[in-house]
Amino acid sequence: MTTKAVVVFSGGQDSTTCLIQAMQQYDEVHAITFDYGQRHSGEIQVAEQLAKDLGIASHKVLDVGLLNELAISALTRDNIPVSHELMDNGLPNTFVPGRNILFLTLAGIYAYQLGAEAVITGVCETDFSGYPDCRNDFIKAMESALVQGMDRQLNLVTPLMWLNKAETWALADKFDSLELVKNQTLTCYNGIKGDGCGECPACHLRRNGLEEYLNNKAQVMKSLDDKCSKN
């Protein structure tokens, strides 16, 4: 029986690392990327190029511009500067309400169409940047809703859920993809590939994690292996 997975793929560090890992674990790997008029729209082109370079089974880019109309955020409005400070509600101004609810629902529908048993997403509770829709409780609730709503078994797989950013770098290195992830992905909120702008919260998190990994490779890799063996 052919095993299949759908990866929610933004072209960033986390989803690219998940995609590379999935290619080692499933017979067929499909990716789905969402165009919602995001601030860093260059990630769509990056995702398309990476999908082509990695040779996955298919890559679908889906227009979900309606999210931009409904969700006001620094990631959906160019006139809202990305802030390092939390808003009055305790969330960062880069939070896009409903984004992962919509993305995982559509990815689940796509998985149903393909006959895939898993949807893989790079959300992480350890370094979740304050986004409530990156928490494990949310993922479990979404998985339950999708299974009940489509009457078909589907696993929402989150390989990075309990990893910190240094361990995510170690995971990329484990699959001999550290340089690819470092140079060819786009995580920066200001849309700059590779090392990014160096100023936004996403760049700080990414750079600090890389420095921690490079300065403590053996220790971080051991921590990664320990966590992977428990899951």
Q: Which two tokens stand for residue 209?
A: 């994690």
Is there a binding annotation on residue 197? yes
Whole-number Cα distances in Å, 143 to 46, 96, 178, 215: 28, 20, 30, 37
Is there a binding annotation on residue 16? yes
Is there a binding annotation on residue 11? yes
Neighbours of 12 (CB within 10 A): 21
The per-type count for the chain, helices as H runs and strands as E runs, is: 9, 5
**Whole-number Å distance between alpha carbons of 70 and 55:** 35
What is the radius of gyration, based on Cα positions, of the chain?
A: 17
Pairing relationship of beta strands 4-8 and 28-35 according to DSSP bridges: parallel
Is there a binding annotation on residue 9? yes
Q: Which two tokens stand for residue 89?
A: 């509600």
Residue 66 contacts residue 105 (beta carbons within 8 Å)? no
DSSP 132: G
Is there a binding annotation on residue 105? no
Question: Widest CA span of the chain, in angstroms?
Answer: 51
Is there a binding annotation on residue 188? yes
Is there a binding annotation on residue 228? no
Is there a binding annotation on residue 200? yes
Is there a binding annotation on residue 13? yes
Residue 67 contacts residue 99 (beta carbons within 8 Å)? yes
- Binding site, residues? 9-19, 188, 197, 200, 203
- Binding site for Zn(2+), residues? 188, 197, 200, 203
- Binding site for ATP, residues? 9-19
